[in-house]
Amino acid sequence: MSFVFPPFPPGSLPVAGLRQEFPVRRIFCVGRNYADHAREMGAVDQAEGREPPFFFMKPADALVAGDGELAVAYPPQTADLQHEVELVVALAGGGADISVEAAPAAVYGYAVGLDLTRRDLQARAKEKGHPWDMGKGFDQSAVAGLLHPASVCGHPAGGRIWLRVNGTLRQDGDLAAMAWKVPEIIARLSRSVRLAPGDLIYTGTPAGVGRLVRGDRLEAGVDGVGSLRARIV
Ligand code: MN
């Protein structure tokens, strides 16, 4: 096959302890997966049961990934860029209608990620019933640290998830507080799309999201899954 210009190479995540990289196919994100964050966003508490999970996407080339301090460009068209620290799931398997029981076998590994958000654009979109894409899927909006294979780190279901900005703790939650757990998220998402090797899933953020400005230094971590560092430039 020949192309009219060279195809864009896939984005990828470096894998801890390996020289190989994990090639990224698509980036899915879960909305409002921690009750404390749903509350701070003004979403109504469900008195009983869980609100079904909902998903949005970022383009695969929105990914900024690696070890060391990642440089992330402050995006245009916003005065309210916000951080959301999240556990990122990387799939090496896939399929449609994956069962909760079979879901862990589809996981290659886990990373710490940031779902960067132009909150002002997202809020306007919510108001008008418009899509979230320009609030969520802008250039460099998906940040991720080193990928840790599940063969080494297991499948974390609990443990601290935290984020500091310029040394100040802003987000401090626990994976156990996720409304929908990772295997349930995979199972639900696979009802809507056929999942595939290379897919990433950002699994939602705990409370404490907040504004970023140029020059901010971020450090984030998840127990058992390492940490990431980034600077807004
Ligand atoms: Mn998020």
- Report pLDDT digits (tens) over 161-192: 999 999 999 999 999 999 999 999 999 999 99
Cβ-based neighbour number of residue 77 at 10 Å? 10
Asked, for residue 3, whether it belongs to a domain, the answer is no
Q: How far is the CA of 82 from the centre of ligand 1 (A)?
A: 10
Q: How far is the CA of 20 from the centre of ligand 1 (A)?
A: 28
Q: What is the pLDDT of residues 54-73, one digit of tens each?
A: 999 999 999 999 999 999 99
Burial class (CB in 10 A: 0-12, 13-18, 19+), 216: middle
- The strand ranges marked E within the chain are 12-14, 21-23, 27-31, 54-58, 63-65, 69-72, 81-83, 85-91, 107-115, 117-118, 142-144, 148-149, 160-165, 168-174, 200-202, 210-211, 217-222, 226-232
SS3 184: helix
Q: How far is CA 110 from CA 45, 61, 156, in A?
A: 29, 19, 9
Give residue 50's pLDDT: 81
Per-residue pLDDT band for 152 (boundaries 50, 70, 90) equals very high
Beta 226-232 vs 217-222: how paired, if at all?
antiparallel
Residue 146 near residue 152, CB atoms below 8 Å: no
Q: How many domains does the chain have?
A: 1
Asked, for residue 50, whether it belongs to a domain, the answer is yes
**Residue whose C-alpha is closest to residue 95's, from 16, 191, 161:** 191
Which residue matches tokens 């080339």? 61
Q: How far is the CA of 209 from the centre of ligand 1 (A)?
A: 9
Q: How far is the CA of 1 from the centre of ligand 1 (A)?
A: 38
Asked, for residue 129, whether it belongs to a domain, the answer is yes
Which two structure tokens, joined as six digits, stand for 21?
Answer: 């990289």
CATH number for 111: 3.90.850.10
Q: How far is the CA of 201 from the centre of ligand 1 (A)?
A: 10
- Is 70 exceeded by the pLDDT of residue 49? no
Q: How far is the CA of 87 from the centre of ligand 1 (A)?
A: 10
Residue 114 near residue 230, CB atoms below 8 Å: yes
Q: What is the pLDDT of residues 20-41, one digit of tens each?
A: 999 999 999 999 999 898 889 8
How much is the pTM? 0.96
* Full residue range of the structural domain in which residue 198 is found: 11-232
- Is 80 exceeded by the pLDDT of residue 206? yes
Q: How far is the CA of 2 from the centre of ligand 1 (A)?
A: 38
Q: How far is the CA of 215 from the centre of ligand 1 (A)?
A: 22
Q: What is the pLDDT of residues 221-232, one digit of tens each?
A: 999 999 999 999
| Angle, alpha carbons 175-177-179 (nearest 5°) | 110
Asked, for residue 1, whether it belongs to a domain, the answer is no
Per-residue pLDDT band for 45 (boundaries 50, 70, 90) equals low
Asked, for residue 4, whether it belongs to a domain, the answer is no
